[in-house]
Amino acid sequence: MQKRVYIETYGCQMNEHDSERILHLLERVHYLETENPKEADLILINTCSVREKPEHKVYSALGRFKRMKEERGTIIGVAGCVAQQEGDRLLDRIPYLDIVIGTHAIPKLPQLVEKIEVTGERVCETGFDQNGGYLKAVLPQKPLAKVKSYVTIMQGCDHFCSYCIVPYVRGSEKSRPSSEIIEEVKHLAGMGVREICLLGQNVNGYGRGSEKELSFPELLQRINEIDGIERIRFTTSHPKDLSEELIHSFSRLKKLCEHIHLPFQSGSDRILKAMHRGYTKESYLEKIKRLKEACPSIALTADAIVGFPGEEEEDFNETLDLMKRVQFDDLFSFKYSPRRGTSAAQFPDKVEEKVKQDRLLILQELQKRITLQKNQALEGRVEEVLVEGRSKQNAQEVTGRTRSNKIVNFEGDIRLIGKLVPIRIVKGYAHSLRGEIVSVTIRDGGNPSP
Ligand code: 5AD
Ligand code: SF4
């Protein structure tokens, strides 16, 4: 019998990708996705605790779904970081919750759901799997209605930055065998995927601790050789692990897109030290200089935190100075928020909420100006755009991304989806670009277009 699953996802790309894997896994036990929780037989909340006060969100989401449990007997589960962290406590607090499934237990989900369907027993699975079995691919069996896909290459983190919950909820750093990754990318290429984004908390630490494994630049090289794949991206990188060899990959590998996301978190050496980041402002700037030398057109994005404990006005000014010197294409900025169990949660000299808020606004204003200038500087230029889908705002338009990962909207037919199209940029906005088609030389993974 066909059943329906509704899944609500919070947080990062890793979580979005986990939700996709969950959906593919549940297909095996006859669950199809629905966008309407009211018609679902199974509701899952895939949570993230990296930056938010996650408990609030989870409890309010669960409150919304309580009625469905009462009316239809819907099975309700919580997955992801909050599940990992809270475990049995969630089951104790929420009497109508059936499943708590941690970050390493996802592959067990189909059998757990089948068991609950029969026995009605409530389950909590939050053990860490030391063998990396949780990283095994869940391959889609049908062609995908999407042109880009994530592929997890490693998970977990051993860096223990003092503010960060990830090492506690995702476990220690673990890389997948390169042979499996390559197989997965080939499979996805066969299913119509044109762009691959390699995922991990520290992708450039890939293969660490395993002599026999490929290095990250070697892995990129091998993926670069796979037919059908047109573009390769990766996220996230740690500045400390950014090697010369990786920097060179940007000029050597044709399919590797000219964009790197390289979080700096703070421009103050004092704060970087308290964060345990393992680099200084100058050494970060030196890496950026090398990237720009090796690949002058490279687009740069990053993450930054304001209001870390002990951050003074002068520390914050160092952050603004770093931003002015690098000129990021975009920046994701956050107010520091203490995470239970991390070392920074115990640090004195908390920054007042109002100060954090003011600093965030100043930083975001500065970045808005820089992003707009950068986008306007593209006006008149021709960019290669991979068309991803119909534009949400206008049915006559399609949307895609440049190699530098900027969104471009332009008038065009949906038959262009999946194609690489040369587009002249006519207008740069704060969050996207407007373009127009300049020629009919459209590439389609090597085939001439119809
Ligand atoms: N408070 C605020 N921001 C955080 N990040 C991670 N932990 C915290 C925290 N406790 C941000 C960092 C990281 C991004 C994924 O989330 O900038 O790079
Ligand atoms: Fe968190 Fe630091 Fe690891 Fe990134 S490198 S996941 S910020 S501990």
- Residues 141-166 have pLDDT tens digits of 666 678 999 999 998 999 999 999 99
Q: Reply yes or no on whether the pLDDT at 295 is more than 60.
A: yes
Look-up of token digits 């239970």 = 340
For the domain made up of 382-449, the CATH class stated in words is mainly beta
Q: How far is the CA of 440 from the centre of ligand 1 (A)?
A: 44
What is 134-376's CATH topology?
pyruvate-formate lyase- activating enzyme (3.80.30)
pLDDT level of residue 447 (50, 70, 90 thresholds): very low
> Rounded to an integer, what distance in angstroms lies between the CA atom of residue 123 and that of residue 223?
39
**pLDDT in the model for residue 57:** 82
Tell me the mean pLDDT in the region 71-88: 92
Those residues with Cβ within 8 angstroms of residue 417's Cβ, 6 or more apart along the chain or in another chain = 147, 387, 388, 389, 390, 398
Is any atom of ligand 1 closer than 6 Å to the C-beta of 103? no
- The pLDDT value recorded for residue 8 is 93
The CATH H-level (homologous superfamily) assignment of domain 3-125 is: Methylthiotransferase, N-terminal domain (3.40.50.12160)
Pick from 173-187, 205-219, 422-436: least confident: 205-219
Check if 265 has its Cβ closer than 6 Å to any atom of ligand 1.
Answer: yes
pLDDT exceeding 70 applies to what percent of the chain? 95
pLDDT at residue 420 is higher than 60: yes
Task: Say yes or no to pLDDT of 449 above 80.
Answer: no
Ligand nearest to the CA of 237: 2
pLDDT at 450: 35
Contacts for 96 with CB less than 8 Å, ≥ 6 apart:
62, 66, 69, 70, 76
Whole-number pLDDT of residue 351: 98
pLDDT band at residue 211 under the 50/70/90 scheme: confident
How many Å lie between the centroid of ligand 1 and the Cα of residue 50? Answer: 6
**Ligand 2 atom nearest residue 202's Cα:** 5
Rounded distance, CA 449 to CA 360, Å?
47
Domain spans of the chain, in order of start: 3-125, 134-376, 382-449
Hey, which of 123-137, 207-221, 236-250 has the most confident mean pLDDT?
Answer: 236-250
Please state, in angstroms and rounded to a whole number, the distance separating the CA atoms of residues 359 and 347. 20
Higher pLDDT, 209 or 333: 333
pLDDT in tens, 58-74: 888 899 999 999 999 99
**pLDDT tier at 444, thresholds 50, 70, 90:** low
Residue 169, pLDDT above cutoff 50: yes
Highest mean pLDDT among 101-105, 209-213, 291-295, 338-342: 291-295
pLDDT beyond 80 at 441 = no
Verify whether ligand 1 is closer than 6 Å to residue 305 (CB atom). yes
pLDDT higher for 60 or 306?
306
Separation of alpha carbons 8 and 267, rounded Å: 35
Higher local confidence (pLDDT), 137 or 276: 276
pLDDT of residue 314: 98
For residues 22-27, average pLDDT: 91
Please report which confidence band the pLDDT of residue 210 belongs to, taking 50, 70 and 90 as the band edges.
Answer: confident
**Strands of the sheet with 195-199, listed across from one edge:** 148-152, 195-199, 231-235
Split at pLDDT 50, 70, 90, the class of 445 is low
Ligand number nearest CA of 166 is 2
Q: Does the pLDDT at position 405 exceed 90?
A: yes
Q: How many CA atoms lie within 13 A of 6 on its CB side?
A: 16
For atom 8 of ligand 1, the residue with the nearest CA is 51
* Ligand closest to CA 160: 2
Output the CA 301–ligand 1 centroid distance in Å.
Answer: 15
Closest listed residue to residue 109, CA positions, set 14, 35, 29: 29
| Lowest-confidence segment of 38-52, 130-144, 191-205 by average pLDDT | 130-144
Mean pLDDT, all residues of the chain: 92
Q: Is the pLDDT of residue 297 over 90?
A: yes
- Any ligand 2 atom below 6 A from CB of 12: no
